[in-house]
Amino acid sequence: MEILFVSSEVEPFAKTGGLADVCGALPLHIARLGGRISVITPLYRETRSRLQTTACEAKFSVTVGPRTFAMQVLTSRGPADVPVHFVRCDELFDRDGLYEAGGKAFTDNHLRFICFSKAVLAFCRTSGMQPEILHLNDWQTALIPAFMLGRAAQDPLLHRCSSVMTIHNMAYQGMFPPEVFDLTELARQQFWHPGQLEFWGQVNFLKAGIVNADMVSTVSPTYAREITTPEFGCGLEGVLATRAQDLVGILNGADYTVWNPESDPLIRARYSIDDLAGKQDCKRELLERFSLARSLMQRPLIGCISRLVDQKGFDLIEEIFDDIMRTDAGFVLLGTGEQRYHDFFTRMAAQHPSRVGVLLAYDNRAAHKIEAGCDLFLMPSRFEPCGLTQIYSLKYGTVPVVRSTGGLADTISDCERDPERGNGFAFADYAGSALLDALVRAIACYGQKERWKALMQRCMACNFSWDVSARAYLDLYRRARDKKMGLGD
């Protein structure tokens, strides 16, 4: 089966969050299972320095409204020899930042991703590639199923090609003013109504994917159920419910070649489930790096690596921060995002210089050091499609404290409610008091050395490698193909 995997971010070439991790790792695992897969993504400024050799595979132009953009597709080999195609159009993608700079979204994001989506189809045509599956990820690529439908009559290639739309986060839908519809050049009668791209008078890119893709998936089973309800569907719950038969939840995996304390080159010392000594070195280095009290070596150190946005539950952390400081724990945060959280954590670091370390930056090396050097990992999300950092924390023996929602509910179970298999501390209510209760239980457990060590080892033994999920995607591709050929249910 030939698959073209389409994403606006792919590790190790460009990243703002977990989307890149998934789109870097999943194609390799599909390739290992025998799928003929290649990846296509924009060529951003930050990508250039990370590319080795490339060959120019195609040149064409894409017209959007009155403007024509010259495009090139450069191809390189990614890990495991998977071809990665980079769509080059400097006017659109050669900028600081992927979607924004200095906290301000680019005003032409609609144009950038209409162009990218058209370029993906133009590339298939000009290069002669005939994928059976186009696998699309998030709103940036979600117009493609509508384009495929709109053009199927003129384009024989598209008759054979099915689409799979993966939603990584319902909170980001790519919503633009109605004038943007004309730039898509989709037929108004067919696509401009509430059953298609129109959403309360706006153009909604993600909706185009949900409505028109052959199959739809999201990144955990619990989130797949949640998004058909008003609390999590972000207004598209009704549309998703109409696709319930074709909607599946497949849990993300972790790339243990990158996130593994036994081999991680970015941490001070390697360690394993049988020899935990190195973790202490990693903790010591982290305390030094943030100039925190040495006495924290014997006390619990809480870590947090995140986009600083409401999704991640920072209002709860803010609410109980004084209570956390009344325990004996230390706290280290790495993140960027909303100004109010930058201000809050800057203040907390100033108030508690020996116990609170804050790095307001995007820094992959620091992310690895925090995963390794902390004892507890905090993730009290309001909603969480999957979440990867809690999965990475497990591998590093850094015990997660999470709110049970979405993928957090599918990966972390409370060790006091489930003493046999529990791998963290979990709470249900979105309330500061519930988070505090879970943290206090975790801190008490840390004080019981044998119990804590057994818990760490149980965390480290958890296996969320991609193998199982990659097979589930291959099944999904088959379902999409059968549906297209009229063999489906």
Which residues of this chain interact with ligand ADP, rule CB under 6 A?
17-19, 21, 305-307, 334-336, 362-364, 367, 386-389
Element holding 69 (H helix, E strand) = strand 67-77
The interface partner of residue 219, options being ligand ADP, ligand GLC, none and the CB cut-off 5 to 8 Å by kind, is ligand GLC
Is 307 within 8 Å of 99 (Cβ atoms)? no
Q: 130: which 2 tokens? A: 């005939």
Site size with ligand GLC, rule: CB under 6 A: 14
State which of positions 193-252 bind ligand GLC (CB under 6 A): 219, 252
| Partner in contact with 364, chosen from ligand GLC, ligand ADP, none, beta carbon below 5 to 8 Å by kind | ligand ADP
Is 19 near ligand GLC (CB under 6 A)? Answer: yes
- Radius of gyration over alpha carbons of the chain, in Å? 23
CB of 483 to ligand ADP, least distance (A): 29
Residue number with CB closer to ligand GLC (25 or 89): 25
Q: Tell me: does residue 455 bind ligand GLC (CB under 6 A).
A: no
- Footprint of ligand GLC on 153-192 (CB under 6 A): 168-169
| Pair 43, 88: CB distance under 8 Å | yes
Listed residue (69, 84, 79, 71) closest to 5, CA to CA: 84
Angle at 307 between CA 278 and CA 296, to 5 degrees: 35
Name which position in 89, 114, 388, 470 contacts ligand GLC (CB under 6 A): 388
Among candidate residues 121, 128, 204, 115, the one with its CA nearest the CA of residue 167? 204
* Among 246, 384, 410, 414, interactor with ligand GLC by CB under 6 A: 384
Three-class SS state of 76:
strand
Of the pair 300, 407, the CB lying nearest ligand GLC is at: 407
CB of 166 or CB of 306, closer to ligand ADP:
306
* DSSP 8-state secondary structure symbol assigned to residue 14: B
The option from ligand ADP, ligand GLC, none interacting with 303 (CB < 5 to 8 A, set by class) reads: none
CA distance 20 to 9: 5
Minimum distance from residue 265 beta carbon to ligand GLC (Å): 24
Max Cα-Cα span within the chain? 70
State which residue, 310 or 482, has the beta carbon closest to ligand GLC: 310
In the sheet that 133-137 helps form, which strands lie side by side, from edge to edge?
Answer: 55-64, 67-77, 83-88, 36-42, 2-6, 133-137, 162-167, 215-218, 247-249
x/- letters, 257..276, toward ligand GLC (CB under 6 A): --------------------
Q: Give me the residue label for tokens 């977990």.
A: 18
- Closest separation in Å from C-beta 407 to ligand GLC: 6
Span from 17-25, 54-62, 86-94, 195-203 in contact with ligand GLC (CB under 6 A): 17-25
Choose the stretch contacting ligand GLC; rule: CB under 6 A; options: 346-354, 378-386, 455-463, 475-483: 378-386
Sequence-distant (6+) residues with CB within 8 A of 48 are none
Q: Which of residues 48-87 bind ligand GLC (CB under 6 A)?
A: none
Among 396, 218, 236, residue whose Cα is nearest residue 305: 396
400 touches ligand GLC (CB under 6 A) = no
Alpha helices in 290-380 (DSSP H): 314-326, 339-351, 364-373
- Comparing every residue's Cβ against ligand GLC, the nearest one is 18
Give yes or no for residue 22 binding ligand GLC (CB under 6 A). Answer: yes
Tell me which stretch binds ligand GLC (CB under 6 A): 109-117, 229-237, 321-329, 382-390: 382-390
Interaction partner, residue 254 (ligand GLC, ligand ADP, none; CB < 5-8 Å by kind) = none
Among 385, 397, 400, 424, binds ligand GLC (CB under 6 A): 385
Which listed residue (25, 144, 286, 386) binds ligand GLC by CB under 6 A? 386
Residue (of 65, 59, 150, 48) closest to 108 by Cα position:
65
Beta strand residue intervals within 138-232, DSSP E: 162-167, 175-176, 198-199, 202-204, 215-218
Q: Where do contacts with ligand GLC occur on this chain (CB under 6 A)?
A: 17-19, 22, 168-169, 219, 252, 384-388, 407
